[in-house]
Amino acid sequence: MESGNSNTEINNNPASSEGEPLVAAAPEPVAPPVAPSPKPTAPAEDSWKNYKPKTNQDNHPPRSRGGSNAGVIVGVIIAILLAGGALAVSLINMLSPQQTQPTSTVSPEGYYAGNSIEFEETSIANIVSKVTPAVVSIISEVRTSSYFGYGTAQASGTGMIVTSDGYIITNKHVIDGARSVQVITDSGDTYDNVTIVGTDPLNDVAYLKVSGVSDLPTIPLGDSKTIAVGQPVLAIGNALGAYQNSVTQGIIGGTGRSIQAGDSSGNNIEYLTDMLQTDAAINPGNSGGPLVNAAGEVIGINTAVSTDAQGLGFAIPISAVKGMLNNIIDNGRAERAYLGLSYITITSEVAKEFDLSVSQGAYVHSDNSRQSAIVTGGPAAKAGIKDGDIISKINGVQVGRAGSISTLIGEYKVGDVVLVTIIRDGSEMTINVTLEAYRG
């Protein structure tokens, strides 16, 4: 469990916690973008997820859960058209045995070369033409209930194909409560044989599989650890559930943001951390679509947009999903690797409060004075990590600057061994930790 409120990778708060007043958006029918799909038996409507600022009542720095950087918590709404206004537990099914590795663009200089490239006037159209074939619209059928009884309605979102044999990444809230899922490609091909392979227990991410395919276009995965504030990006998705693969342009406005989510009824609160902030317009229906750098690589999954500001959207760093994706492809198991500890992301305020010798990293600490921050029998416990340790690096990558513990560990599979650098009593040491599956 790493959590950051105490951040636990295991969210001490499971990935959903702490609610705020919510504001519902006006209902709108969902319009599937290309192929006709079954008509709902009940009216479809937008079920926006609203986010409101969380006030820091005790004047202590915010702690993020799920192992991410604690940042200013802003009010946002998840950008997706959901029908019926209620979200349910998502399905988890076993995947088919086809195995093809996700594509990834690597240059001699590493991924940072991709994140440092600037757009040229002619490059945007070229990037869009290469990326959009792998961006799909996702139409899910959900069950609704009302005073008049039960019915069905449709919800619309976006996804991206990451392997040629049909693995797709999207947001978990796009398929929550789905009785069936349909995928529509940019070229108009429609697939109904879609399985929900699994969902991330610590993040708003879901993994789908289209059966019986072998030559689908794919989108290259970039490196969100090397993102620079101010770098240009494109957001692509099924805007408003009607305008398939709409493209907007902006920049990265910040990293390590924390947001709090809930649906229009004020329920199903989610707490998401370590988010990328962008002013590229994200609209309802864009959820699950790619945030792309100027090299045409995915660096984030578009997830949310602010209701209280102009041009304030949020995306999940792509590095956080790679480990679970590879675990599914290689081992056939929808498992997320974790360290098994609670922590507080270190800021200058946290360093002052706890009299720490460093100004960034993760402080292994539990908010409950009667409970250890280390999960009994977990990977961190077995490796000898202790309460009060400061975790400064994961496999040589700086915690905080490149991402939270949860995001950095999210790059690895269950069973991988990572080198964890810690500071204990003023001395730095490194420890090998074998990652295990998060058990919740």
Residues carrying an active site annotation = 173, 204, 287
Distance (Å) of CA 396 to CA 20, 44, 292? 38, 49, 26
For residues 241 and 138, give the distance between their C-alpha atoms in angstroms, rounded to a whole number. Answer: 9
Pairing of strands 77-78, 298-305: antiparallel
Letter for the amino acid at 173? H
**Cα–Cα–Cα angle for 261, 228, 358, nearest 5°?**
80
Q: Which two tokens stand for residue 89?
A: 């537990």
Task: List, in sequence order, every residue forming a beta bridge with 290; answer none if it has no partner.
Answer: 301
Q: Which two tokens stand for residue 97?
A: 């045995």
Task: Give the up-direction half-sphere exposure of residue 99: CA atoms within 13 A in the CB hemisphere.
Answer: 9
For residues 212 and 98, give the distance between their C-alpha atoms in angstroms, rounded to a whole number. Answer: 9
For residues 99 and 331, give the distance between their C-alpha atoms in angstroms, rounded to a whole number. Answer: 9
Alpha-carbon torsion (85, 91, 96, 99), positive or negative: positive
**% helix / strand / coil in the chain, to the nearest 5?**
10, 35, 55
Q: What is the DSSP string of 90-153?
A: PP--PPPS---PPPB---TT-THHHHHPPP-TTHHHHHHHHHGGGEEEEEEEEEEEETTEEEEE
